[in-house]
Amino acid sequence: MAFDLNYYESKIVCNICKKQYTTYKVRPGRYKVLSQDTDFMPIYDGLNPLLYEVSVCPYCGYAYHKSLTRTYGPFLELIKESYIKRIKKVRNLCKERTIDDAITSFQLAYLVAKFSMEEPIVLANFALKIAWLCRLKKDLKAEMRYLRSARELFYKSQTSDKESEERMQYLVAEISLRLGDIEEAKRGFSRLITGKDVSNKYRNYAKKRWEDYKYDNEKTVNEES
Ligand SMILES: [Zn+2]
């Protein structure tokens, strides 16, 4: 059958109800990363594994993503109280997914993360990924809404890791640019471009992005005049 070629069935044991289920994941050979968008959204050739990142238990509705860390003991009680009990109807998202299904799966993971009090950076990355999915759907309004909440959450995020700190600074500037908050974008990019200890990787990303933006912007201004 066709699905055998594109997906494999991953076996999961649900953290909450402890039942076992299988859920589709894209086979590694069925997609290729072609490039990435300026906010690091991978552009794939073939299927999009992003759609299958979150596993949703078809029995109780618990959503699991590999970035979740509060998946044990007292946190599970919080999730049961605030999330599981409120679910009216559990959806089965274990087979082939549409972009909307994928958005739902990330929204559920977002709720799980929120109720188990995960670090803001976990929530920020979920919001960013939902924005990417909205971009794939060409739903600009929803994309902007999720980018805005991703930026808010990145502002609240803290990390002691240099790479992820720089990634976050870059993303805040990049998201600001997309939201039309040019002042904030400029501030963020210049911090990365002129900062003493900034890695070459993010200094170059920031330089390129800000130069491209200025070039496109001047071009548009000239075309309009
Ligand atoms: Zn379950």
Question: What does the block give as tokens for 170?
Answer: 């870059």
CA of 189 to the centre of ligand 1 (A): 43
Q: Does the structure show a pLDDT above 60 at 2?
A: no
Cβ(48)–Cβ(26) under 8 Å? yes
- Residue 74 CA to residue 71 CA, distance in Å, equals 9
Helix (H) / strand (E) containing 215: helix 200-224
Which residue, 158, 173, 206, sits at the end of a domain?
Answer: 158
- Pair (164, 149) in one structural domain: no
CA of 116 to the centre of ligand 1 (A): 16
CA of 121 to the centre of ligand 1 (A): 25
Q: Does the structure show a pLDDT above 80 at 225?
A: no
Q: Structurally, how many domains does the chain consist of?
A: 2
- Pair (86, 117) in one structural domain: yes
CA of 33 to the centre of ligand 1 (A): 32
Which residue, 158, 184, 199, sits at the end of a domain?
Answer: 158
CA of 35 to the centre of ligand 1 (A): 36
**pLDDT score at 172:** 98
**Tell me, what amino acid is at 3?**
F
Which residue, 158, 181, 207, sits at the end of a domain?
Answer: 158
CA of 20 to the centre of ligand 1 (A): 8
Instruction: For residue range 186-196, list pLDDT tens digits in order.
Output: 999 999 999 99
- Residue 33 CA to residue 41 CA, distance in Å, equals 10
**pLDDT score at 222:** 78
Instruction: For residue range 169-189, list pLDDT tens digits in order.
Output: 999 999 999 999 999 999 999
**pLDDT score at 223:** 78
- Pair (163, 185) in one structural domain: yes
Cβ(175)–Cβ(200) under 8 Å? no
- Pair (97, 196) in one structural domain: no
Cβ(49)–Cβ(32) under 8 Å? no
Share above pLDDT 90 across residues of the chain, in percent, rounded to a whole number: 91
**What mean pLDDT is reported for the chain?**
95
State the helix-helix crossing angle for 99-115 and 120-136, rounded to 10 degrees.
Answer: 170
Task: Give which of 201, 200, 170 is closest to 187, Cα–Cα.
Answer: 170
CA of 15 to the centre of ligand 1 (A): 7
Cβ(35)–Cβ(43) under 8 Å? yes
CA of 218 to the centre of ligand 1 (A): 54
CA of 45 to the centre of ligand 1 (A): 33
- Pair (70, 90) in one structural domain: yes
CA of 46 to the centre of ligand 1 (A): 31
- Pair (48, 134) in one structural domain: yes
CA of 12 to the centre of ligand 1 (A): 10
CA of 21 to the centre of ligand 1 (A): 9
Q: Does the structure show a pLDDT above 70 at 1?
A: no
Cβ(130)–Cβ(109) under 8 Å? no
Tell me the average pLDDT across 48-56: 98
Least confident of 26-35, 51-60, 123-132, 216-225: 216-225
- Pair (221, 183) in one structural domain: yes
CA of 95 to the centre of ligand 1 (A): 16
- Pair (10, 99) in one structural domain: yes
CA of 167 to the centre of ligand 1 (A): 34
The parent domain of residue 205 ranges over 159-225
Share above pLDDT 70 across residues of the chain, in percent, rounded to a whole number: 98
CA of 109 to the centre of ligand 1 (A): 13
- Pair (145, 180) in one structural domain: no
Question: What does the block give as tokens for 129?
Answer: 């990924």
Residues 6+ apart with CB under 8 A from 30: 5, 6, 7, 46, 47
Domain with residue 101: its CATH number is: 1.25.40
**pLDDT score at 4:** 66
- Pair (28, 86) in one structural domain: yes
Tell me the average pLDDT across 133-151: 98
**pLDDT score at 40:** 97
Instruction: For residue range 3-33, list pLDDT tens digits in order.
Output: 568 999 999 999 999 999 999 999 999 999 9
Number of H helices, E strands in the chain: 8, 6
CA of 88 to the centre of ligand 1 (A): 14
- Pair (173, 151) in one structural domain: no
- Pair (119, 75) in one structural domain: yes
Phi, psi at residue 26, to the nearest 5°? Answer: -75, 135
